[in-house]
Structure 1
Amino acid sequence: MLIKHPKPASRKWLKKGAVALFVFEGACFAGSYFLWHRANTDRDFRKHLKDNYPFLLEYYYKAGELLNSQSNTRQVDQSYWGQE
């Protein structure tokens, strides 16, 4: 006769934890992509970031300059906001 042994409870918790971690990482990635896309396409949103979260805008500019050394988004934004 074949005897069945139950799976350990820790294995069940490990699987649930891995799934939760995967879902959390996916949500973080989607949120960061949404913020990057909005900052990349909307100058008013960048102005909002400048007024309320200047460190995030600085990271955005640094990432853009790292990926494209000829990026002039910072200068264009500063000249536009200087004219207002």
Structure 2
Amino acid sequence: MLIKNPKPAYRKWIKRGALTLFVVEAGCFIGSYFVWHKINTERDSRKYLLDNYPQVLDLYYKTGEIIDKNNKLREIDAAYWSTNQN
């Protein structure tokens, strides 16, 4: 007859922790993608960032300029906002 050895309890906690970490990481990735998509496609979102979090908007523009040297989104937004001030 085979003797069954129970698995140590810490293995169960390690598996649960790894699964939780994976789910949290996937959720953060999906959330950050939706935030990036909103900022990338909506000028009003960028205006909100300019008014409330200018450092974040500057980081967004710098990242775009590093990826694509011909990215002129900063100048386009500045021109649009300067002509449409209320």
TM-score range, shorter chain: over 0.9
SS in 2 for 1:7: coil
Aligned residue type for 1:52:
N
Matches within 5 A, 1:1-84: 1-83=1-83, 84=85
How far apart in 1 are the matches of 2:59 and 2:21? 26
How far apart in 2 are the matches of 1:21 and 1:36? 22
How far apart in 2 are the matches of 1:39 and 1:24? 22
- Residue deviations 1:21-74, cap 9 Å, x none? 111111111111101110111000100011111121111111111111100000
Question: TM-score scaled to structure 1, two decimals?
Answer: 0.95
Over aligned residues, Cα RMSD in angstroms?
A: 0.8
How far apart in 1 are the matches of 2:46 and 2:16? 38
Unpaired segments ≥5 residues, structure 2? none
Aligned residue pairs: how many? 84
Q: List, as ranges, runs of 4+ consecutive aligned residues in structure 1 with deviation greater than 2 Å.
A: none
How far apart in 1 are the matches of 2:82 and 2:40? 20
How far apart in 1 are the matches of 2:50 and 2:29? 23
Percent identity of paired positions between Structure 1 and Structure 2:
56
Unpaired segments ≥5 residues, structure 1? none
